[in-house]
């Protein structure tokens, strides 16, 4: 008898259908209510694999994958929850619900880091739909059919996209414009295909985006990256889905064309890699000649344990994956529920790093994908009697900033770059004085006023920034 896993049909659950899942009855009335109420504000989608294999139903609601995928009442402020609960469950007043939901979403800083107007490139003086070009070497591409996920993460900084707040400004229906743009930009070496999750697409659709990138005129494109969480939420995509073999063949084709194909796998917790099918997915990806890099944000309630990160990286390395990034959770959505101070993030990273061998120390972090670039916390040190965060850019809008150390006053409460102020009596960080005026204005506004929290205006509307992945 064969041990091959059998194909399983993907079955998503949403607010409308979650009561049909067998596990629904395992939730207390309070938890059920929280799902029905909070999912009015934040997106909710899970699937049978996440529910059957990843969540430990004996540990509800503290199970990390439950926290990762199920809305919880503490994700709203207590008063917000109380009023919304009454509207949803008692009054059932859809107009009032819509009004309240909108105001809560606006309070949640739906558009962090003000990037849209700075990252969308132009061609023939028109913005190129579905593209972002933030760093010189890397272009991000948002295919229209990859703008959803196999399940939604409750912390996701793209949440406005999934609840219809953004009209998918970044999605592209086809790759013609991408190809034309790349032909004009020989400095671009990397294309990141992202979403949502591009691997929600069937292989044929994905090939329609990938194959044009193999054209001889695009020989300057050396690396094609695909950002995906399917390695954790639906590893069947690589193993038993009916076009899984075709997907692996497509990967091989990209590699055979001389490109480095990098699957940017989003893993939040070691349980996601304990599953046999998830391990098979890693092996199949790697056997295609693609590389698989592991990255995720550090999230309170979900992955604060350094030992969990160490297990994740060590297992990944054993299977052939490459630990890549630990990110700092962004200031958006229910961030009060998920954020950890930068000092704690540094401690978790350092402890996890100390637990693994050199092969896992390819990982970098904790890193903030902030407006000026990707800033890593290198350490907490005392210099000349002042306690400071030692920081540097791993990636930056201005390439000259990369790897230039800089220092911020130590602040035990700070959770993001915007909360930090320069150390040693400096008035500004070096990159603030060197930025062009509009960017500096936005950053300084964001730093001091959190103006993006109320930014309903188009100029501060980055929608689905993918900075976490580049
Ligand atoms: S885009 Fe990534 S982080 Fe956001 S819900 Fe989808 S899988 Fe989760």
For the chain, give every domain's residue range: 12-107, 116-469
293 lines ligand 1 (CB under 6 A): no
Of 87-91, 158-162, 276-280, 289-293, where does mean pLDDT reach its minimum? 158-162
- H-helix or E-strand spanning residue 373: strand 373-383
Query: What distance in angstroms lies between residue 83's CA and the mean position of ligand 1's atoms?
Result: 28
Residue 389 pLDDT > 80: yes
Cα dihedral sign for 265, 267, 273, 276? negative
408 lines ligand 1 (CB under 6 A): no
Query: What distance in angstroms lies between residue 263's CA and the mean position of ligand 1's atoms?
Result: 15
Q: Quick check: bond before 31 cis, omega within 30?
A: no
201 lines ligand 1 (CB under 6 A): no
266 lines ligand 1 (CB under 6 A): yes
Q: What is the pLDDT of residue 156?
A: 87
Which residue, among 434, 294, 447, has the nearest Cα to 370 in the 3D structure? 447
Alpha carbon nearest to ligand 1 atom 5, residue: 152
Proportion of the chain in helix, strand, coil states, percent, rounded to 5: 45, 20, 35
Nearest 5°: phi and psi at 215? -60, 145
363: left (phi over 0), alpha (psi -120 to 50) or beta: beta
Query: What distance in angstroms lies between residue 69's CA and the mean position of ligand 1's atoms?
Result: 10
Please state which CATH number belongs to domain 116-469. Answer: 3.20.20.70
238 lines ligand 1 (CB under 6 A): no
Average pLDDT over residues 86-91: 96
Mean pLDDT of the residues in the chain: 88
Average pLDDT over residues 105-128: 75
pLDDT tens digits for range 118-137: 677 888 888 888 888 888 89
Alpha carbon nearest to ligand 1 atom 7, residue: 229
Number of Cβ within a 10 Å radius of residue 82 = 13
Pocket test for ligand 1, best of 158, 161, 168 (most atoms within 8 A of CB): 158
Of 8-17, 169-178, 452-461, where does mean pLDDT reach its minimum? 452-461
155 lines ligand 1 (CB under 6 A): no
Query: What distance in angstroms lies between residue 464's CA and the mean position of ligand 1's atoms?
Result: 11
Residue 440 pLDDT > 50: no
pLDDT tens digits for range 252-274: 999 999 999 999 999 999 999 99
How far apart, in whole angstroms, are the C-alpha atoms of residue 211 and residue 232? 26
Which residue, among 268, 259, 63, has the nearest Cα to 155 in the 3D structure? 268
Average pLDDT over residues 349-366: 98
Residue 442 pLDDT > 70: no
Of 29-43, 159-173, 284-298, where does mean pLDDT reach its minimum? 159-173
Residue 2 pLDDT > 70: no
- pLDDT-based confidence at residue 11 (cuts at 50, 70, 90): very high
Neighbour-count burial of 140, counting CB atoms closer than 10 A to its CB (0-12 exposed, 13-18 middle, 19+ buried): buried
pLDDT tens digits for range 318-332: 999 999 999 999 878
Atom of ligand 1 nearest to the CA of 158: 4
- pLDDT-based confidence at residue 145 (cuts at 50, 70, 90): confident
Q: What is the pLDDT of residue 458?
A: 30
Residues 377/390, Cβ–Cβ less than 8 Å = yes
Residues 192/139, Cβ–Cβ less than 8 Å = yes
Residues 278/232, Cβ–Cβ less than 8 Å = yes
- pLDDT-based confidence at residue 455 (cuts at 50, 70, 90): very low
Atom of ligand 1 nearest to the CA of 155: 3
Share of the chain above pLDDT 70, in %: 88
Q: What is the pLDDT of residue 457?
A: 30
Q: What is the pLDDT of residue 77?
A: 95
How far apart, in whole angstroms, are the C-alpha atoms of residue 455 and residue 112? 9
Q: What is the pLDDT of residue 221?
A: 98
Which carries the bigger pLDDT value, residue 199 or residue 136? Answer: 199
Instruction: Measure the CA dihedral 32/37/40/46, to 10°.
Output: -20
Residue 160 pLDDT > 90: no
Residues 108/332, Cβ–Cβ less than 8 Å = yes
Q: What is the pLDDT of residue 433?
A: 83
Q: What is the pLDDT of residue 469?
A: 39
Cα dihedral sign for 446, 448, 449, 450? positive
Alpha carbon of 187 to those of 135, 191, 219, 220, 378: distances in Å? 10, 12, 11, 8, 29
Pocket test for ligand 1, best of 47, 71, 147, 156 (most atoms within 8 A of CB): 156
How far apart, in whole angstroms, are the C-alpha atoms of residue 382 and residue 384? 7
Query: What distance in angstroms lies between residue 159's CA and the mean position of ligand 1's atoms?
Result: 8
Angle (nearest 5°) at CA 418 between 396 and 162? 80
Alpha carbon nearest to ligand 1 atom 1, residue: 196
pLDDT tens digits for range 200-236: 999 999 999 999 999 999 999 999 999 999 999 999 9
- pLDDT-based confidence at residue 49 (cuts at 50, 70, 90): very high
Q: What is the pLDDT of residue 126?
A: 83
Q: What is the pLDDT of residue 129?
A: 80
Atom of ligand 1 nearest to the CA of 157: 4
């Amino acid at each position: 008898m064969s041990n091959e896993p059998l194909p399983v049909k993907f079955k998503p659950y949403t607010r409308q259908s979650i009561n049909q899942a067998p596990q629904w009855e395992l939730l207390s009335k309070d938890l059920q209510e929280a799902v029905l109420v909070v999912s009015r504000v934040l997106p909710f989608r899970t699937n049978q694999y996440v529910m059957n294999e990843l969540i430990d139903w004996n540990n509800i609601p503290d199970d990390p994958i439950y926290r990762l995928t199920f809305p919880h009442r503490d994700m709203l402020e207590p008063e917000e929850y109380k009023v919304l609960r009454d509207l949803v469950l008692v009054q059932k007043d859809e107009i009032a619900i819509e009004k309240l939901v909108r105001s809560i979403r606006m309070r949640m800083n739906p558009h962090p880091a003000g990037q849209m107007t700075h990252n969308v490139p132009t061609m023939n003086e028109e913005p190129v739909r579905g593209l972002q070009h933030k760093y010189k070497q890397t272009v991000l591409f948002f295919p229209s059919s990859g703008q959803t996920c196999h399940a939604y993460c409750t912390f996701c900084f793209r949440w406005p996209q999934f609840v219809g707040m953004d009209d998918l400004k970044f999605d592209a229906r086809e790759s013609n414009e991408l190809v034309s743009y790349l032909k004009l930009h020989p400095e671009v070496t990397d294309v990141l295909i992202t979403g949502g999750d591009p691997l929600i697409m069937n292989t044929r659709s994905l090939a329609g985006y990938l194959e044009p990138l193999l054209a001889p005129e695009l020989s300057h494109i050396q690396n094609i990256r695909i950002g995906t969480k399917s390695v954790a939420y639906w590893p069947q995509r690589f193993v038993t889905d009916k076009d899984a073999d075709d997907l692996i063949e497509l990967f091989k084709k990209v590699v055979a064309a001389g490109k480095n194909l990098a699957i940017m796998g989003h893993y939040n917790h070691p349980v996601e890699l304990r599953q046999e099918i998830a391990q098979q997915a890693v092996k199949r990806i790697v056997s295609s000649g693609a590389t698989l890099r592991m990255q995720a944000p550090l999230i309170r309630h979900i992955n604060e344990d350094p030992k969990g990160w160490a297990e994740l990286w060590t297992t990944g390395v054993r299977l052939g994956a490459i630990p890549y990034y630990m990110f700092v959770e962004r200031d958006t959505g229910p961030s009060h529920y998920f954020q950890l101070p930068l000092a704690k993030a540094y401690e978790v990273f350092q402890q996890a790093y100390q637990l693994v061998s050199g092969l896992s120390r390819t990982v970098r972090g904790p890193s903030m994908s902030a407006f000026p670039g990707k800033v890593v916390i290198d350490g907490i040190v005392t210099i000349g009697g002042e306690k400071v965060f030692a920081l540097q850019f791993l990636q930056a809008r201005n390439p000259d900033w990369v790897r230039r150390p800089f220092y911020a006053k130590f602040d035990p409460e700070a959770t993001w770059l915007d909360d930090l102020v320069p150390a040693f009596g400096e008035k500004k960080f070096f990159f603030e004085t060197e930025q062009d005026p509009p960017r500096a204005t936005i950053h300084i506004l964001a730093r001091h006023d959190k103006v993006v929290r109320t930014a309903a205006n188009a100029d501060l509307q980055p929608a689905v920034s993918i900075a976490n992945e580049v």
